[in-house]
Amino acid sequence: MKDFSWGGLIVAVLGLLIMASPAYFFPVCETMISTAAGGSAPMKCFWTGRAALGGGGMIAVSGFLLLLAKHPGVRLGLAFLPLCAGLLVILTSNLLIGVCPGAMMPCRMGTLPALSFFGFLAVLASGCIAVSAGRRMAALGGAIRRAGEKSGPYGEKGAENGERA
């Protein structure tokens, strides 16, 4: 099986989309809540947007690193980073922080589905990279094992000379 090498690019693009969604494509609510003390505070979707900026950034950086990494072991380890960050983006927007409750508010209509969608795709793409890298690791391990069995601990020459025998 060929390595899912261009998957890193997909992950990086998804990370950038997650970062840009709350600010540009599907903006969070701009209205401020008036506090009892007479001040104003941003609504909770604002903080979800901030969290998405961090999570998306992490996904984008790990996507670029995945593009550079060649060793399947390194790729396997790196793939878990966007996978967890994608899950975090889904969880922060749906549960941990959430968005405003009103069904017709921009954050609930646009930002929440966008973050859930891109987060899900990031998890899916990272999962595919992890599975692909894992298979390559297993194939590589098998090849090394076979080579070891063939040559023996002292190399092919030693085995031929009957040193082990």
Considering the complex, what minimum distance in angstroms separates the CB of residue 45 from other proteins? 11
Q: Tell me which residues in 64-103 interact with other proteins (CB under 8 A).
A: 100-103
Q: Which is nearer to other proteins, 41 or 144 (CB)?
A: 41
Cα distance between residue 136 and residue 130, in whole Å: 10
Site for other proteins in 116-145 (CB under 8 A): 116-117, 120
Segment (H or E) for 41: strand 40-42
Q: Is 11 in the site for other proteins (CB under 8 A)?
A: no
* Ordered DSSP codes for 99-159: --S-TTSHIIIIIHHHHHHHHHHHHHHHHHHHHHHHHHHHHHHHHHHHHHHHH-TTHHHHH
Exactly one of 109, 128, 131, 137 binds other proteins (CB under 8 A); that residue is 109
In the complex, the residues that contact other proteins under the rule CB under 8 A are: 1-2, 26, 29, 31, 33, 43, 100-105, 108-110, 113-114, 116-117, 120
